[in-house]
Amino acid sequence: MTLLDPVAPATLFTHPDRNLGMELVRATEAAAIRSAPWIGRGEKNLADGAAVDAMRKFLGTVDFDGVVVIGEGEKDHAPMLFNGEHVGTGNGPSCDIAVDPIDGTSLTAAGRMNALSVIAVSDRGSMYDPSAVFYMDKIVTGPEGRGLIDLDLPIGENIRRLADAKGVTVGDIVVAVLDRPRHAGLIADIRAAGAGTRLLLDGDVAGGINAARPDSRIDMCVGVGGTPEGIITACAVKALGGVIQGRLKPKDDEERQKALDAGHDLDRILDQDDLVTGDNTYFVATGVTDGALVAGVQRSNGMIRTESLILRSHSGTQRRVIADHLESKWYGED
């Protein structure tokens, strides 16, 4: 047997540190499990409320000093996980935190695929403040798009550039887009360029992450979606080595003026390092309903199974966590 030549161990090997994501996953698991009984019931607010309550309780046990930068609050009128709220025990690292107890409340209510419970974390002061501009024009790809894609280019040119970088034909490229009336022209342009589309009913975060993953059938995610979701996606993209570009897109004159008053350049293209500075991001997602990213909550024979994805940029690790939970511990005798 031939041994591999020894190499000098890297810093991560000689000085291993704590992976906060392994603790945060308990909060996304809890949110997914508590919202699961509402899948397909047509009650998105009740599903979201159950997820918010569970996530908040479990975040309170994590040893970190988190400040919610992107939360429920103004968007969902939630009494917990609002912007500015402190979460965690107060001990440990100081962090910015973005939460979406259910990314895809409508998907959950309808029993459709790709609903997730999501948390993203980065060092304190590193998350971009969009100043209440809720929408952003975005493009996301994997590492092949670095230095090539450009939000200012026509979508057909971006598709051709990505196809060349990946060594495939344009016809092999699949582009994910939220299925919204505002994207009718964009969808037509993608198809006119010769690429295929994957139309998403909801789930902006999952679409972007699948575009950045090397083993996904989605090559690119484009279109106007939530700014908070863009920042959450940036935390994941940094761990995957991918690319995201975004530009704020105010929905009306009032929102535009708020952005200008806050000092935003509405013509500026923001990349992953603008949306989240530094190289210590965590992204944690647990499936609520089944999807291409992770499986949804499964209940069978008194057990609950969850699947989660944990990404960390500093270590470059991607972990999948499959956990089995005793159902009676979560739902009692109901």
238 lies in the same domain as 294: no
72 is annotated as contributing to ligand binding:
yes
100 is annotated as contributing to ligand binding:
yes
48 is annotated as contributing to ligand binding:
yes
User: Looking at 235, 259, 275, which one is the last position of a domain?
Assistant: 275
Amino acid identity, position 295: A
74 is annotated as contributing to ligand binding:
no
User: Looking at 239, 260, 275, which one is the last position of a domain?
Assistant: 275
- pLDDT digits over 168-181, tens only? 999 999 999 999 99
Look up the pTM and report it: 0.90
273 is annotated as contributing to ligand binding:
no
- pLDDT digits over 43-87, tens only? 999 999 999 999 999 999 999 999 999 987 555 455 688 889 999
271 lies in the same domain as 237: yes
User: Looking at 257, 275, 293, which one is the last position of a domain?
Assistant: 275
Position 3 in a domain: no
Amino acid identity, position 316: G
145 is annotated as contributing to ligand binding:
no
Position 52 in a domain: yes
- pLDDT digits over 234-272, tens only? 999 999 999 999 999 999 999 999 999 989 999 999 999
144 lies in the same domain as 264: yes
- The CATH number of residue 32's host domain is 3.30.540.10
263 lies in the same domain as 182: yes
Confidence of residue 199 (pLDDT cuts 50, 70, 90): very high
Position 8 in a domain: no
Position 11 in a domain: no
Position 129 in a domain: no
261 is annotated as contributing to ligand binding:
no
> 283 vs 15, 26, 182, 200, 333, CA distance in Å?
22, 13, 29, 21, 33
Q: Say yes or no to pLDDT of 103 above 70.
A: yes
251 lies in the same domain as 182: yes
Which residues contact residue 242 at a Cβ distance below 8 angstroms, ignoring those fewer than 6 apart? 140, 141, 142, 143, 145, 146, 211, 212, 272
30 lies in the same domain as 110: yes
pLDDT at 334: 42
- The CATH number of residue 181's host domain is 3.40.190.90
194 lies in the same domain as 299: no
Position 7 in a domain: no
334 is annotated as contributing to ligand binding:
no
Please tell me the distance from the alpha carbon of residue 322 to that of residue 119, in angstroms, as a whole number.
Answer: 17
203 is annotated as contributing to ligand binding:
yes
144 lies in the same domain as 182: yes
Which residues contact residue 108 at a Cβ distance below 8 angstroms, ignoring those fewer than 6 apart? 35, 38, 39, 44, 47, 102, 115, 288, 289
Position 199 in a domain: yes
pLDDT at 73: 56
63 is annotated as contributing to ligand binding:
no
Q: 46, 42, 26, 263: which is closest to 133 by C-alpha?
A: 263
Position 1 in a domain: no
149 lies in the same domain as 269: yes
300 lies in the same domain as 180: no
320 token code pair: 């999948």
229 is annotated as contributing to ligand binding:
yes
89 lies in the same domain as 108: yes
On average, the pLDDT of the chain sits at 91
269 lies in the same domain as 300: no
Confidence of residue 1 (pLDDT cuts 50, 70, 90): very low
160 is annotated as contributing to ligand binding:
no
Please tell me the distance from the alpha carbon of residue 165 to that of residue 48, in angstroms, as a whole number.
Answer: 40
Burial of 320 (0-12, 13-18, 19+ CB in 10 A): exposed
Q: Which domain holds residue 60?
A: 20-124+281-329
pLDDT at 6: 57
152 is annotated as contributing to ligand binding:
no
76 is annotated as contributing to ligand binding:
no
Q: How many residues does the chain have?
A: 334
Q: How many domains does the chain have?
A: 2
